[in-house]
Chains A and B, each alone.
Chain A
Amino acid sequence: MDDSNQQKVSQISGAEIIMRCLQEENVKFVFGYPGGAVLHIYDALFKQNHFKHILVRHEQAAVHAADAFSRATGEVGVALVTSGPGATNAVTGIATAYMDSIPMVVISGQVPTAAIGMDAFQEVDMVGVTRPCVKHNFLIKDVRDIAITLKKAFYIAASGRPGPVVVDIPKDITAEFAEFDYPKTIEMRSYTPVVKGHSGQIKKAVKILLEAKRPMVYAGGGLVLGDASNELVKLARALGYPVTNTLMGLGGYPATDKQYLGMLGMHGTYEANNAMQDCDVLLAVGARFDDRVIGNPDHFLSVPRTIIHIDVDPSSISKRVKVDVPIVGHVQSVLAEMNEVLAAETIKPDAAALKTWWAKIDVWRAKKSASYDGSSSTIIKPQYVIEKLCEVTKGDAFVTSDVGQHQMWAAQYYKFDKPRRWINSGGLGTMGVGLPYAMGCQLAFPDAQVACVTGEGSIQMNIQELSTCKQFHLPIKVILLNNRYLGMVRQWQEFFYENRYSESYMDSLPDFVKLAESYGLIGMNIDKPGDVEGALQDAFAMKDKFVFMNFMTDQKENVFPMVPNGKGISEMILGSDTNANDAADEMEG
């Protein structure tokens, strides 16, 4: 702009425009870290009081925390980072959100327009770097485009199949002046996500469901993201059919409901995996038949079944498994319409067939595949800690996790009855998310109980955030299941690499209690099974305190059931197998 230095009265700076946009979007928290390219933005941020900025200690944590804020609330998470290393540090967080379809807007600073392409200090091609792991991204080249671009970014992030959107803004653009005009609505000819499902397909789906002899409902992260839990519960109860949730769908269908078979997949229950394999009609809701869920697709497809698949993203349908009745649409509205069609239907589910089917499921259930030997009075079993955590928090906490064995135990043993309570990295499997995820949840719900279930490997990947927790008085409870191993790596090495524990032992661990105390936080060591429950009660009684709980757990405990890589989901190794290790060797062979 020629007159960029001569500010008209009604004009404001690009940095101020960004603040106004965030205000218009009702943003409550911006997670970020300042740096050269975003100094104008941070100056404008200093002068506003519409949202709170949370200063993290590493940009990766800013993005994870914004991601968790979104997972817990359903709102769009916002992160702000500087150019170059700030931007690349954010990439793991962006990819994590992308894999789990989390709506987020990440604003990154960029070097001044004239310096782009000059290998300038702290320059990186952020649009190029993030292209494969964002829903969309923008590089703004004119101050007059800031408002419309941010409007588009929020719209794209939250609509259709949600996802992260990166907006890269050169420093000079944030210093120039323009009128602020935020559009109320936006239409893009190139982006028109489908919302309503096809009525004909919905009727057909209900008809097929009613004709089922061995029905099964399989619901994933899309159910939670689409806020469709109530609709699914209504449908499942009206039909009386069994339901399983994926790792990402936990809480979408209440875990304590009698129709719930537990989680399915690589570490799913015996009953959920067998019912998934043996069913004749499968209703898939907001799930994507991924490799950790259905195992080997050829094995899964070796038995005939009719599949109905509801998903907002057409590209998720018939990607790994060919489906018979695709329904593209928002899961909430599609399930609501299915409930209406079902209510008007005179045909009822086949009661006799259903009785036989439930009898078969009860035989599988009787295996009690999600159980462990808790007889030791000297060694703490990690599963026991999670069971007690669930009891002490009355199953109503926000539970974030990192990635590994502890994640699976948390998923198996914490009974989630509500959606948006289980916050973990399902798709990308990012170690280090647990603590920043807990920060995002605790800020969203200051009075809620927030537990970060983690391992000594994962927690050290973002341990610096203890400082952020201290600064913002976040009363998180860290539940560290400390087995001195990278447990899941060790488990695979035991099963599939003849006990060669290559680089999976964690040596030279810090004294976690002293570490917590050095930040002014509370630490606890727990090493006897008899102390577990009392310690948890003590910790959660300290409602306004951050407590770091270091549980010394069984070093050799494994996660069961387990479907070895490349096997079908009904080909499980159970913990009760006389020699699970040999069973694993045999299957691998």
Chain B
Amino acid sequence: MKHIISLLMENEAGALSRVAGLFSARAYNIESLTVAPTEDATLSRMTIVTSGSDEVIEQIIKQLNKLVDVVKVLDLNDGRYIERELMLVKVKATGALREEMKRISDIFRGRIIDVADGSYTIELTGSGSKLDAFIEALDKTVILETVRTGASGIGRGDRILKV
């Protein structure tokens, strides 16, 4: 099952490689990983999307907690949470496609952020599955390039991950 794990770690050189190294050394799946400093510059917040049996997820959480630089770990799937990901898609926009691409983008509440003679760049935010659905809705031949940030997650209401 897919899990979204959030963690806070010391914002030190090499911190990211410790997490990435753990996942590869122990053969855990890693679907996406995002990291950036928080409002407290000494801390980084990371969101990891992974999958595995309950036993594997339990081990992942324990192993992450064991890393000396990791301050706190939270499995967002243990409660209610919000997941968001940003995607930029460059699509062909010539002839009839110009209108078509605009319409599909509107349906998914995307925004066209760059317009060129033969292409549009569409910005889209949402859950991973919404972004997947948008890609599915497009004819593969019109997609010139896609770039996704990987998921960021946050607990709902008073579920707060903070030191």
Contact = CB atoms under 8 A, between A and B. Distances in A.
Nearest to B42: A189
A514 interface: no
Given A127-B14, A128-B17, A318 B71 contact: no
Most buried by A among B10, B66, B70: B66
A210 interface: no
A127 B14 CA distance: 9
A190 interface: yes
B65 A314 contact: yes
Interface in B58-106: 58-59, 62-63, 65-66, 68-71
Contact of B55 (A188, A189, A191, A318): A318
Contact of B62 (A190, A314, A322): A314
Contacts of A314: 62, 65-66
B68 A315 contact: no
Contacts of B37: none
B66 A132 contact: no
A156 interface: yes
A315 B67 CA distance: 11
A318 B59 CA distance: 8
Given A131-B18, A131-B21, A132-B21, A315 B59 contact: yes
Nearest to B8: A190
A189 B65 CA distance: 12
Interface residues of B, number: 20
A235 B16 CA distance: 44
A191 B68 CA distance: 6
Given A189-B163, A315-B59, A322-B55, A136 B68 contact: yes
Interface in A181-212: 188-191
Contacts of B70: 190
B68 A190 contact: yes
Most buried by B among A139, A190, A319: A190
Contact of A190 (B10, B14, B21): B10
Interface in A77-135: 127-128, 131-132, 135
Q: Which bracket fits the contact residues of A? A: 10 to 19
A314 B58 CA distance: 10
B58 A190 contact: no
Contact of B25 (A132, A139, A188, A191): A132
Contacts of A191: 68
Given A156-B68, A189-B163, A191-B68, A319 B59 contact: yes
A313 interface: yes
B46 interface: no
B149 to A, nearest CB: 26
A135 B63 CA distance: 12
Interface in B1-52: 9-10, 13-14, 17-18, 21, 25
Nearest to A128: B17
B65 A135 contact: no
A427 to B, nearest CB: 15
Interface string A372-402: 0000000000000000000000000000000
A456 B59 CA distance: 40
A127 B69 CA distance: 14
A139 B21 contact: no
Given A132-B25, A139-B13, A318-B55, A189 B71 contact: yes
A156 B68 CA distance: 8
Nearest to A165: B68
Nearest to A191: B68
A189 B8 CA distance: 11
Nearest to B69: A190
Contacts of A127: 14
Contacts of B71: 189-190
Given A127-B14, A190-B69, A190-B70, A315 B62 contact: yes
A189 B55 CA distance: 27
A322 B14 CA distance: 33
Contacts of B14: 127-128, 131, 139
27 contacts: A127-B14, A128-B14, A128-B17, A131-B14, A131-B17, A131-B18, A131-B21, A132-B21, A132-B25, A136-B68, A136-B69, A139-B13, A188-B68, A189-B71, A190-B9, A190-B68, A190-B69, A190-B70, A190-B71, A191-B68, A314-B62, A314-B65, A315-B62, A315-B65, A315-B66, A318-B58, A322-B55
Interface of B: 9-10, 13-14, 17-18, 21, 25, 55, 58-59, 62-63, 65-66, 68-71, 163
Closest 5 CB pairs of A and B: A315-B62, A136-B68, A190-B71, A191-B68, A132-B25
